[in-house]
Amino acid sequence: MEKDCIFCQIAHGRTDTEILTETDTLVVFKDINPHAPVHLLFVPKKHIRSINDLTSADQEILSELIMVARDMAKEHGVSKSGYKLLYNVEKGGGQLVFHLHLHLIGGWH
């Protein structure tokens, strides 16, 4: 855990952010500035800066992020209508919080 990292603080229960789902590996919460009716963030408890910093030891984290996102898409009723899963990578890729996270965006009509 990095003490100056907002997503570390959220993932370790140090804020009042509502956690929608938690596993041993990750937490899920709503994006504070949603870009769509459904905008969730899937955040590993381990501090990893970005996709660039993943190692082969992190493969289970990555697959769990996607599998839990798939489940939460269903729970939020966007499985059939469709959704985007997105990683922003580093500044040029639009990354603002330098703790790896997967965006789930959907729910447009």
Q: Which of 39, 99, 101, 103 is flagged as catalytic?
A: 101
Residues 16-45 that bind ligand AMP (CB under 6 A): 17, 29, 31-33, 41
Residue 73 Cβ vs ligand AMP, minimum distance, rounded to whole Å: 17
Helices and strands (DSSP H and E) totals, the chain: 2, 5
What DSSP string describes 53-99?
A: G--GGGHHHHHHHHHHHHHHHHHTT-TTT-EEEE---TGGGT--SSS
CA angle 5–93–107, rounded 5-degree value = 85
Residue 8 Cβ vs Zn ion, minimum distance, rounded to whole Å: 3
| Site residues (vs Zn ion, CB under 5 A) | 2, 5, 7-8, 47, 99
Active site residue 101: yes
Catalytically annotated residues: 101
Which residues lie near ligand AMP (CB under 6 A)?
Answer: 6, 17, 29, 31-33, 41, 88, 94-97
